Each structure stands twice: as structure tokens, then as C-alpha cells.
Chain A
């Protein structure tokens, strides 16, 4: 029980990842698979951001930071900023792959006039 209570953020994000994963492999429509991929990527981003949290800490913006800073800055007061930085890049990659995937779906619709994966595989034979 101790394992679940002290690490329950990982459990929640793994359940969300598995929902997205099931949508990617279990549905037949191509747009539903794409939405599943988006849910999967969002769960991974939230998972990484949650690994940088610290108990009792505030957001990573130095307080009273205008001009000269007279007081010492303690790193334990602020949340770890590195996962936030890496996940900004990951969000932009998510948007880019979503845009290009939608463009490919439009091309597939022009060619085969359907969006179900088994009908497309039938028409290719």
C-alpha cells in the first residue's frame, strides 16, 4: 500500500498512457488512432513534469529578482526547472507531428475516399 500512496502520480499517468495506447491499436478509424496518439504524448509530458516536483516548493521564478539580488537563493525552495524546459520542446514536437499526420490523412482520403483502415487495406490489393 505504501508503494501506491507515495508514488500515485506515476500510476495515474500510466493509466492515461494505456488509454491512449488502446485507442491507437484498438480502433479502426484513422482519426481516432491519431487522437489516441495525442493522448499518449500528453500523458508522457505530464509524467515528466511530475518527476520534478518538490514538497513545499514554489514555481521556478526567483522572487524579488529585479536588479541586484541581496538574499541567497536556495535550490530546495524552487521546483526543478529542467523537466519543464524539455517538455516545452516535446509539446512543439507533438503539435508538429499532429499537423503533418492530418495532412497525410487528407492525402489518403483524396486517394481512397475512405478513412477505415481495413477498407484501405482491401483497396490496396
Chain B
């Protein structure tokens, strides 16, 4: 069982490392992740929302609907733990 697991892990690792040949270099300011919508968020956040922290303004204002879904996820996790573990009083 353990040698099989080791072979599977090594093969997955080699496939993933082969896939990093096409990824952008580390610290490249022209990588595709940084040139489409992210400069607009950085430049316009103080004049549109008066909040200097770009991460908070994107998380709570530009993408506020996703944060609502996120809060429902953690609420559902608490409800799942309550339903699984608590036993009713006899």
C-alpha cells in the first residue's frame, strides 16, 4: 500500500512540475493575472470608496456578494456540527 502511494505521489508531482514550464516567472509585473481588472481596482479605490486598503474594499464592496455567500458557508459549518454532535436531553 505504501509503495503504491509513493509511486502515485511521485507521478503526480512530476506532472505538476512539467506544467510549471508555461507559468509566468515569479515577480513578473506583466503576468496575465495583474493586467486586466486589478489595475482598475487599485487606481479607483480611494476616489470611489474612500478606503485605502484595496483588499478590504474589493472583498466588502466590489465583491460583497461573494462575502455574503462565504459567511453563509461558515454559518452552515457551525449548524452541521451542532446537528451531528449534540444529543437531545433525555
Contacts and interface: CB of A to CB of B under 8 A. Distances in A.
Direct contact between A and B judged by beta carbons closer than 8 A: yes
Interface of A: 3, 6-11, 14-15, 17-18, 21-22, 25-26, 50-55, 57, 60-63, 65-66, 69, 73, 75-76, 78, 80-85, 88-89, 92-93, 95-97, 99-100, 103-104, 106-107
Nearest to B45: A62
A30 B24 CA distance: 38
Nearest to B57: A81
Given A93-B73, A100-B80, A103-B80, A25 B5 contact: yes
Given A6-B26, A14-B20, A22 B42 contact: no
The interface residues of chain B, by DSSP majority, are classed as helix
Contact of B13 (A15, A83, A96): A15
10 contacts: A7-B25, A8-B26, A17-B16, A51-B23, A60-B54, A73-B43, A75-B34, A81-B38, A96-B77, A99-B78
A92 B51 CA distance: 23
Interface string B1-42: 110011011101100110011011111110101100111011
Contact of B85 (A26, A62, A106): A106
Contact of A65 (B46, B59, B73): B46
Contacts of B51: 65
Contacts of A53: 26-27
